[in-house]
Amino acid sequence: EVQVLESGGGLVQPGGSLRLSCAASGFTFSSYVMNWVRQAPGKGLEWVSFISGSGGGAYYADSVKGRFTISRDNSKNTLDLQMNSLRAEDTAVYYCAKGRLNWNDGSMDYWGPGTLVTVSS
Amino acid sequence: QSALTQPPSASGSPGQSVTISCTGTSSDVGGYKYVSWYQQYPGKAPKLMIYEVSKRTSGVPDRFSGSKSGNTASLTVSGLQAEDEADYYCSSYAGSNNLVFGGGTKLTVL
């Protein structure tokens, strides 16, 4: 059974940093792109970042470029998101989502339950 | 990376059909065949329903169908059922390894 589970959310002050992790199981992790998608309270979905199966390619939404870094450890089946210089507008539930393919056509077939990040003083 | 445009709400009675639109540009929806649709219940993670414009994910009822014309994609739910009441989001590949979501549509079954 495919499972993805996020961790690491919490309350952080503006300008601070936080590292999210996602543990994956039930599939050949290195064969699929992985994504981070966020949803601000009461708002819609926003794609944040994705990383290729090998980890050699990482891509970001303009809203987080230069502040967030995505990475993966294929030996441990884990995905991370390092978030720096956090702003109030980064407050959201962050989802880890498995890509359906080994490249990103935008389809994500398995999602974790999400982890809440709150940026507030 | 502007969000795709969806109507905020849509509704229909049980058994009826409803169509949700998703409008983008030639740089996203109109330029690629990679439009996906997600269903999300309150407090839950999204679920992939449709990919590549019109292909249903395994287990999704054939009451759900997708299509595209020009810069607008559509999700049609036929034979509406109470369990279809949820939020629906479209997404599209937008070139240069970018993805974009729509703002979401709240579907109400009257």
List chain B residues with CB under 8 Å of A48.
Answer: none
Chain B interface, Cβ < 8 Å to A: 1, 3, 34-36, 38, 40, 44-48, 51-52, 57, 89, 91-93, 97-104
pLDDT at B2: 80
In chain B, whose CA is at the least distance from the CA of A115? B45
What pLDDT, in 10s, does the model give residues A42-64? 999 999 999 999 999 999 999 99
CA angle B109/B100/A12 to nearest 5° reads 95
Name the residue among A24, A29, A104 with its Cα closest to residue A61.
A104
Testing the interface with A: which of B32, B48, B56 to mutate, by most A Cβ within 10 A?
A: B48
3-state secondary structure of B82: helix
What pLDDT, in 10s, does the model give residues B7-49? 999 999 999 999 999 999 999 999 999 999 999 999 999 999 9
CB contact (8 A) between residue B89 and residue A44? yes
